[in-house]
């Protein structure tokens, strides 16, 4: 097995010094405890060559054992090249006629709607459409003093907290989230995701224990550029939510995963941390390990734990997250949820199940299981 390795490159955390590679690299193998709850998968093409949604649809359906037919979703990067400079806002309306005029006027206050339309859908027998999905291509008003990202994130928080029958569930540029209650194939076919071409895809098959049925509770969760899929249950949610809300975020989705998207946004966009450091704050080394580090490393690792103590995530989890330039995967410090990494040519795969990766890429050359808490970070080149 060792010998089959291609020159794969990951970011290693743990006690070895952090090195940034343009690619991805693997950490040592580690066992995993079987606790099925959700199936997740992510794929990234590091040369930004796009793939349509049929492959990820196929992969996700391999994990139906991990779902209950009550929610699934996809996130795709690079799908709106014609509106590359606009924020693509994906919205669930409870009632288009009633709720849309309100949102239109709110958006008009904050900027310009370049274009908007219903997200094309196709009725599926197994899927009851409880919301109408809509998309806006939106530009914040440049005369507003705040940075664009700040305006859009404030807008998302306000609209979602107001609960007026409109929920913005995706707000990045040149990307979109497609999610609903139902089995993965039905959700994929409902949105016709094979019609989209993306270079990063995340997908999630849900076994809801918290907020069944509600479309907003399905994954992926997105804020601006970052999207997250998550398998697990965050036992520190009460601490994390109160922490993130003290920075002006509002948790509105009734599920623990949204907090991860906001924590990454806080640390990376607002506090300027590199993603590997942000991940390290979310799943930090144990104090005992920190104690064994050389002085300088010990100092910044301690600082990270102290400053971000309330951001640290506890409980079993495997997370795959992406922005336009990278895809990352990491587990909790005890690795109580499975995570498998595969590579094939320019493509990096991270998933709960090897079978899902093989469904998408039968030729996959290496399959690895990173150790607990070790992040896998793959970056696009160019």
Partner 1 sequence: MIGSLPPRYRISVDPVRCMECGRCIENCAYGVFSRDGDRIFVNSRNCTACHRCIACCPRDAISLEEHPCDYRSHPLWTREAREAIYNQARTGKIILAGMGNALDYPAIFDRLVLDACQVTNPSLDPLREPIEVTTHLGKKPASLDLRRREGGDVELRTRLTPNLRIETPIMIGHMSYGAISLNAHLSMARAAKETGTFMGTGEGGLHAALHPYQDQMIVQVASGRFGVNIDYLERGAAIEIKIGQGAKPGIGGHLPGEKVCADISRTRMIPEGSDAISPAPHHDIYSIEDLAQLVRGLKEATEWKKPVFVKIAAVHNVAAIAAGIARSPADAVVIDGFRGGTGAAPMVFRDHVGIPIEAAVASVDKKLRDQGIRNELSVIASGGIRGSADLAKAIALGADAVYIGTAALVAMGCRVCGNCYRGLCPWGIATQRPDLVARLNPDEASNQVANLIRAWTLELSELLGAAGINSIESLRGNRDRLRGYMLDEGLMQVLDVRGVGA
Residue identified by tokens 């036992």 is 235
Q: Name the 3-class secondary structure at 158.
A: helix
Alpha-carbon torsion, ordered 199, 227, 284, 149, to 10 deg: 110
Element (H, E) at 281: helix 275-282
In this structure, the number of other CB atoms found within 10 A of the CB of residue 3 comes to 4
Residue 122 annotated to the active site:
no
Distance CA 74, CA 65 (A): 18
Contact (CB, 8 A) for 43 and 349:
yes
Of residues 144 and 309, the one with the C-beta less far from partner 1: 309
Q: Does 242 bind partner 1 (CB under 8 A)?
A: yes
Task: Identify the residue among 233, 265, 354, 374 touching partner 1 (CB under 8 A).
Answer: 233
Kindly tell me which residue out of 44, 166, 273, 339 binds partner 1, with binding defined by CB under 8 A: 273
Judged by DSSP in three states, 251 sits in coil
Q: Are 205 and 72 in contact (CB under 8 A)?
A: yes
Binding partner 1 by CB under 8 A: which of 14, 18, 116, 150? 18
| Active-site entry in 24, 38, 86, 251 | 38
What distance separates the 2 farthest-apart alpha carbons in the chain?
A: 62
Provide the 8-state DSSP code for 207: -
Nearer to partner 1, 297 or 345 (CB): 297
Q: Does residue 310 bind partner 1 (CB under 8 A)?
A: yes
316 lines the binding site for partner 1 (CB under 8 A): yes
By CB under 8 A, residue 15 contacts partner 1: no
Contact set for partner 1, span 319-338 (CB under 8 A): 333-334, 336
Is residue 29 a contact residue for partner 1 (CB under 8 A)?
no
Shortest distance (Å) from residue 191 CB to partner 1 = 28
Q: Which of 209, 213, 254, 365 binds partner 1 (CB under 8 A)?
A: 209
Query: If we measure between CA atoms, which residue out of 314, 310, 153 comes closest to residue 243?
Result: 310
Residues at the site binding partner 1, with contacts judged by CB under 8 A:
17-20, 33, 35, 37, 209, 232-233, 235-239, 241-243, 245-247, 270-274, 277, 286-288, 296-297, 299-300, 302-304, 306-307, 309-310, 312-316, 333-334, 336
Catalytic annotation, residues: 38
């Amino acid at each position: 097995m060792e010998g089959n390795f291609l020159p794969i490159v990951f970011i290693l955390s743990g006690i070895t010094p952090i090195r940034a590679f343009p690619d991805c690299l693997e950490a040592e193998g580690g066992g995993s405890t079987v606790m099925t709850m959700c199936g997740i998968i992510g794929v990234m093409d590091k040369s930004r060559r796009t793939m349509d949604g049929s492959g990820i649809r196929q992969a996700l359906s391999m994990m139906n054992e991990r779902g209950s037919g009550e929610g699934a979703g996809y996130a795709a990067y690079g799908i709106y090249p014609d509106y590359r400079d606009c924020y693509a806002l994906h919205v669930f309306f409870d009632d288009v006629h009633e709720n849309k005029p309100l949102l239109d006027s709110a958006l008009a206050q904050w900027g310009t709607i370049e274009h908007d339309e219903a997200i094309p859908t196709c009725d599926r027998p197994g899927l009851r459409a409880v919301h109408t999905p809509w998309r806006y291509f939106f530009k914040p008003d440049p005369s507003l003093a705040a940075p664009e990202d700040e305006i859009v994130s404030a807008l998302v928080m306000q609209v979602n907290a107001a609960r007026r029958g409109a929920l913005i569930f995706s707000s990045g540029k040149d990307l979109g989230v497609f999610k609903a209650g139902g089995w993965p194939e039905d959700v994929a076919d409902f949105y016709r995701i094979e019609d989209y071409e993306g270079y990063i895809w995340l997908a999630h098959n849900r076994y809801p224990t918290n907020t069944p049925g509600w479309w907003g509770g399905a994954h992926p969760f997105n804020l601006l550029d970052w999207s997250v899929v998550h398998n697990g249950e965050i036992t520190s949610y009460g601490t994390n939510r109160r922490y993130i809300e003290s920075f002006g975020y509002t948790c509105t989705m009734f599920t623990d995963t949204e907090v991860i998207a906001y924590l990454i946004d806080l640390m990376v966009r607002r506090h300027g941390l590199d993603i590997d450091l942000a991940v390290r704050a979310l799943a930090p080394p144990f104090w005992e390990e920190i104690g064994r580090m050389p002085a300088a490393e010990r100092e910044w690792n301690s600082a990270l734990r102290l400053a971000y103590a309330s951001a640290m995530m506890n409980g079993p989890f495997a997370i795959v997250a992406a922005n336009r330039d990278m895809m990352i995967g990491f587990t909790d410090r005890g690795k109580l949820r499975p995570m498998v990494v595969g590579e094939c040519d320019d493509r990096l795969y991270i998933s709960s199940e090897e079978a899902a990766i093989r469904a998408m890429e039968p030729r996959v050359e290496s399959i690895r299981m990173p150790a607990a808490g070790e992040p896998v970070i793959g970056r696009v080149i160019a």
